[in-house]
């Protein structure tokens, strides 16, 4: 019999027009890549980083008033008893000044020996700063800083007994950007072979293992190409490619596994290649469509975060899921329908025969079979025990602290960070100042000048703000910047307290004295404003994702119990992931093993990102498993038998897909950047928990306990459209 579902009809067309389906997919991928390469990808400017509040207003005022330029500092430091009064110290400073002078774009060089620059000399007299600016936008400044760094290194070589090092937005940006690129290359180069290895162990044959990877790779390539023209409308962050790779491989492999497993199961029952593909398209293909729409709905929650970065992540994630979903219901049936036995080529000796011989068996492996038997035998004990374990794992999340990761999260393997640490020790807060910005017709008026002097005195009196306090006036005298070096690392409690003092006391006093409005920006201010934004938008995003998932599952399975239970199970999974993140990164456990130093916080963007991504990806498993259970139930099985059959028949796919995801996400836990280490640990942990405790214990236990109540639909909702679940289609007998 033929499937009447959309996925079934698409699959049937693809099997009847294999050449067109395969050629069409390849043409789509090639065209997308060519278009993306032709138009390029637009990334946001560095000045667009602040998103809300005072920091956003202040940054816009500064951007409009000042030419694009990068602030740079060179520290000159003695290793012995020399101080700035000694001749060798002064000659080193003079050589640094000479080394950077005359280089393209360098301007406003301030020597610590110049009049009024005593704040550039440390309290103990052993350290001094040479400060200057490099004209140009972010890209140009980073190109120009190469020549400047050469001059600094030449000065350092002439004075081997003195320490000379450079740090600034251009020099640090260049080295850290390269570090990001190296990390991403590592993730990309490892994720593909790790995925292939896991799939080879799953299928026992190279060709079969390559099919899921092929869909994932081509979906990622096409998506990256399509994002090119989209980025000209909405600027996309540089790491969007890595998120697309993560999500694209995950769903691409998942969807293909759904097809392959069902196709092989039907072949083992005696179906021909085309019949097996038709059945897979009508069942697993339908599950792919439902899952894909649900995942995209979850990803759409990121569009409501009110932040440019989340908008970019949402667009990239939704697009790659859509592309992978379309590919799985079109090109995969075409590939499988004419495969014959070629999928089993490239068998791995010993391993291949054993795996291939058992792949048509719908039952779970021994381990999963034993777990499922125990769960179904004692469902109440299993449900209570599993829920208790998840609650215990989630408990640390109650004291989760979030903050935008600052300089303390950057690896100290970078030379610029070693320089930064020396500068921070000699000039606390000097490189992460809070900046007070004011705008007036003339910021050099006597009233504003006097108010500025009063502010400086009051700031130093707090003990939270140190020298050098720097004042900058725009060329048109309309904008004033007062740089206030604060204590702390930029995003810790000391820095937060200093920021609160500035915003609550110092800024209002300055405004009253100067008669102008002032805004506060800088790393700490931007972090605080962004963190506040995330906290205010989180309820909106959570409510949107949960509501939309509820509606989709309600309509798909015509049950009010299924979506409620799905939401509860997914929230338990996410809560456990939050607990692990807090235990590791806030409480500081496993630092030596994972290679990081705790900054006492989880990066602000991660909780919302994890919730959306994990909720979406876990729905893959949930929809797939429930579809098999509902299919069995509709074919006459009792609820208990349908649950047992559905879990057993999907155990292999869920396990294989979860291992792939955990393996790929785990790679990010090995990267040097703390943000991505957190993301890798969070995603890998949550997927592992979801595929084991949730899907193997809690889901079957709760479904058995509820029995026929699983499919309860209030009479008031009988008007909902019926989305038919494919009946089992017996293959034609010869």
Tokens at 119, concatenated: 């704040």
Q: Residue 720: which residues within 8 A CB-CB, separation 6 or more?
A: 554, 555, 558, 713
Tell me the C-alpha distance between 468 and 487, whole Å: 12
Spatial CA neighbour of 131 closest among 69, 44, 49, 196:
69
Confidence of residue 242 (pLDDT cuts 50, 70, 90): confident
Tokens at 457, concatenated: 């005195």
Tell me the C-alpha distance between 223 and 324, whole Å: 9
Tell me the C-alpha distance between 10 and 325, whole Å: 12
Given a cut of 50, whether residue 103 has pLDDT beyond it is yes
Q: Could you give the C-alpha distances from 734 to 66, 131, 145, 271, in angstroms and in order? A: 81, 86, 76, 10
Q: Locate the DSSP E strands across 474-577.
A: 479-484, 518-521
* Helix 699-706 / helix 639-668 crossing angle, nearest 10 deg: 160
Spell 533-564 as b/e; 16+ CB within 10 A means b. bbeebeeebbebbbebbbebbbebbbbbbbbe
Tokens at 401, concatenated: 């602290």
8 Å CB contact between 620 and 254: yes
- Give residue 733's pLDDT: 43
Confidence of residue 488 (pLDDT cuts 50, 70, 90): confident
Q: Residue 35: which residues within 8 A CB-CB, separation 6 or more?
A: 225, 226, 228, 229
Can you tell me the mean pLDDT for 452-459?
Answer: 92
SS3 713: coil
Q: How many helices (H) and strands (E) does the chain have?
A: 24, 10
8 Å CB contact between 632 and 641: yes
* Helix 53-65 / helix 523-557 crossing angle, nearest 10 deg: 120
Write down the mean pLDDT value for the chain.
Answer: 84
Can you tell me the mean pLDDT for 141-166?
Answer: 92
CATH 1.20.1640.10 residue ranges of the chain are: 1-39+204-361, 374-411+536-734
Other CB atoms closer than 10 Å to residue 435's CB: what's the count?
Answer: 22
Tokens at 350, concatenated: 């010993």
- Give residue 357's pLDDT: 47
CATH number assigned to the domain covering 70-184: 3.30.70.100
Greatest pairwise CA separation for the chain in angstroms: 100
Burial class (CB in 10 A: 0-12, 13-18, 19+), 68: middle
**Bridge partners for 486 per DSSP:** 465
Q: Could you give the C-alpha distances from 532 to 156, 307, 334, 521, 635, in angstroms and in order? A: 44, 12, 50, 14, 52
Segment 673-717, tens digit of pLDDT: 888 889 889 999 988 998 889 988 998 899 889 888 888 889 888
Tell me the C-alpha distance between 668 and 188, whole Å: 10
For residue 524, give the H/E element and its range: helix 523-557
- Give residue 347's pLDDT: 67
Distance of CA 416 to the CA centre of its chain: 25
End-to-end Cα, the chain, rounded Å: 15
**Bridge partners for 436 per DSSP:** 482, 520
Given a cut of 50, whether residue 141 has pLDDT beyond it is yes
Segment 317-360, tens digit of pLDDT: 999 999 999 998 898 888 887 655 666 666 666 554 544 444 54
Looking at CATH, the fold of the domain delimited by 374-411+536-734 is given as Multidrug efflux transporter AcrB transmembrane fold (1.20.1640)
Tell me the C-alpha distance between 666 and 533, whole Å: 29
Distance of CA 132 to the CA centre of its chain: 35
SS3 100: helix
Confidence of residue 364 (pLDDT cuts 50, 70, 90): low
**pTM (two decimals):** 0.80
Tell me the C-alpha distance between 269 and 733, whole Å: 10
Spatial CA neighbour of 338 closest among 20, 552, 731:
20
CATH 3.30.70.100 residue ranges of the chain are: 70-184
For residue 434, give the H/E element and its range: strand 434-439
Spatial CA neighbour of 256 closest among 297, 300, 292:
292
Q: Residue 178: which residues within 8 A CB-CB, separation 6 or more?
A: none
8 Å CB contact between 479 and 65: yes
- Segment among 11-15, 82-86, 110-114, 218-222 with least mean pLDDT: 11-15
Percent of the chain residues past pLDDT 70, beyond the cut: 92
Tell me the C-alpha distance between 392 and 402, whole Å: 21
- Give residue 128's pLDDT: 94
**Bridge partners for 72 per DSSP:** 132, 168
Spatial CA neighbour of 306 closest among 96, 94, 114, 56:
56
Say if residue 389 is preceded by a cis peptide, omega within 30 of 0: no
Q: Residue 701: which residues within 8 A CB-CB, separation 6 or more?
A: 375, 376, 379, 380, 382, 383, 386
The C-alpha R_g of the chain, in whole angstroms, comes to 30
- Give residue 723's pLDDT: 60
Segment 190-206, tens digit of pLDDT: 888 888 888 887 777 77
Residues in the chain, overall count:
734
Burial class (CB in 10 A: 0-12, 13-18, 19+), 125: middle
- Give residue 321's pLDDT: 93
Q: Residue 485: which residues within 8 A CB-CB, separation 6 or more?
A: 427, 428, 429, 430, 431, 432, 433, 465, 466, 467, 468, 469
8 Å CB contact between 440 and 480: yes
Other CB atoms closer than 10 Å to residue 237's CB: what's the count?
Answer: 18
Other CB atoms closer than 10 Å to residue 405's CB: what's the count?
Answer: 22
1-39+204-361 carries CATH number 1.20.1730.10? no
């Amino acid at each position: 019999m033929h499937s009447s579902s959309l996925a079934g009809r698409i699959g049937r067309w693809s099997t009847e027009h294999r050449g067109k389906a395969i050629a069409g997919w390849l043409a789509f991928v090639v065209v997308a890549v060519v278009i993306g390469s032709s138009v390029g990808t637009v990334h946001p400017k560095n000045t667009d980083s602040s998103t809300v509040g005072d920091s956003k207003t202040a940054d816009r005022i500064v951007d409009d008033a000042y030419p694009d330029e990068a602030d740079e500092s060179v520290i000159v430091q003695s290793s012995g008893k020399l101080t700035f009064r000694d001749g060798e110290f002064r000659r080193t400073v003079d050589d640094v000044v000479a080394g950077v002078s005359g280089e393209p774009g360098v301007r406003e060089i301030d020597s610590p020996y110049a009049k009024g620059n005593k704040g550039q000399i440390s309290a103990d007299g052993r350290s001094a700063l040479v400060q200057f600016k490099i004209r140009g936008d972010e890209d140009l400044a980073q190109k120009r800083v190469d020549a400047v760094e050469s001059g600094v290194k030449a000065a350092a070589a002439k004075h081997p007994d003195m320490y000379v090092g450079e740090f600034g937005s251009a020099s640090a940006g260049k080295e850290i950007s390269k570090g990001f690129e190296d990390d991403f290359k590592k993730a990309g180069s490892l994720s593909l072979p790790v995925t292939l290895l896991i799939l080879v162990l799953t299928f026992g044959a190279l060709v079969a293992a390559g099919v899921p990877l092929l869909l994932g790779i081509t979906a990622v390539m096409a998506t990256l190409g399509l994002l090119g023209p989209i980025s000209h409308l909405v600027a996309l962050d540089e790491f969007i490619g890595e998120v697309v790779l993560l999500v694209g491989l995950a769903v691409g492999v998942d969807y293909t596994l759904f097809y392959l497993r069902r196709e092989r199961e039907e072949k083992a029952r005696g179906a021909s290649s085309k019949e097996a593909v038709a059945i897979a398209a009508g069942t697993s293909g339908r599950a792919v469509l439902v899952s894909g729409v649900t995942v995209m709905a979850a990803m759409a929650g990121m569009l409501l975060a009110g932040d440019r970065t989340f908008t970019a992540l949402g667009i990239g994630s939704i697009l790659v899921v859509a592309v992978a979903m379309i590919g799985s219901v079109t090109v995969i049936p075409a590939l499988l329908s004419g495969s014959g036995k070629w999928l089993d080529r490239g068998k791995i000796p010993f391993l291949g025969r054993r795996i291939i011989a058992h792949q048509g068996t719908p039952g779970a492996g021994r381990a999963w079979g034993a777990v499922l038997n125990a769960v179904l035998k004692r469902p109440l004990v299993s449900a209570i025990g599993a829920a208790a374990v998840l609650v215990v794992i989630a408990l640390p999340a109650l004291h989760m602290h979030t903050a935008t990761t600052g300089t303390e999260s950057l690896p100290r393997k970078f030379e610029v960070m070693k320089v930064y640490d020396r500068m921070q020790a000699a000039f606390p807060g000097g490189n992460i100042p809070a900046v007070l910005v004011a705008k007036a017709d003339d910021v050099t008026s006597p009233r504003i000048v006097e108010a500025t002097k009063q502010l400086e005195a009051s700031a130093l009196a707090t003990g939270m703000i140190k020298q050098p306090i720097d004042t900058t006036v725009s060329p048109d005298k309309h904008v004033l910047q007062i740089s206030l070096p604060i204590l702390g690392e930029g995003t810790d409690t000391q820095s937060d307290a200093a920021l609160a003092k500035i915003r609550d006391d110092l800024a209002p006093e300055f405004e009253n004295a100067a008669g102008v409005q002032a805004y506060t920006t800088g790393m700490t201010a931007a972090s605080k404003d962004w963190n506040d934004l995330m906290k205010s938008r989180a309820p909106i995003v959570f409510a949107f994702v949960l509501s939309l998932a509820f509606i989709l599952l309600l309509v798909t399975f015509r049950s009010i119990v299924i979506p409620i239970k799905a939401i509860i199970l997914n929230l338990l999974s996410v809560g456990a992931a939050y607990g692990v993140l807090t235990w590791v990164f806030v409480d500081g456990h496993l630092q030596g093993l994972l290679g990081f130093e705790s900054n006492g916080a989880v990066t602000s963007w991660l909780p919302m990102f994890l919730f959306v991504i994990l909720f979406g990806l876990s729905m893959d498993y949930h929809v797939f498993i429930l579809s098999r259970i509902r299919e069995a139930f509709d074919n006459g099985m009792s609820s208990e038998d349908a649950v047992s059959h559905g879990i057993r028949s999907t155990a292999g796919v869920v396990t294989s897909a979860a291992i792939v995801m955990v393996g790929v996400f785990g790679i990010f836990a090995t990267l040097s950047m703390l943000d991505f280490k957190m993301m890798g640990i969070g995603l890998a942990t949550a997927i592992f928990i979801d595929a084991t405790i949730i899907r193997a214990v809690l889901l079957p236990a709760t479904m058995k306990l509820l029995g026929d109540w699983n499919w309860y639909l209030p009479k008031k909702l009988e008007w909902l459209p019926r989305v038919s679940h494919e009946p089992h289609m017996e293959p034609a007998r010869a």
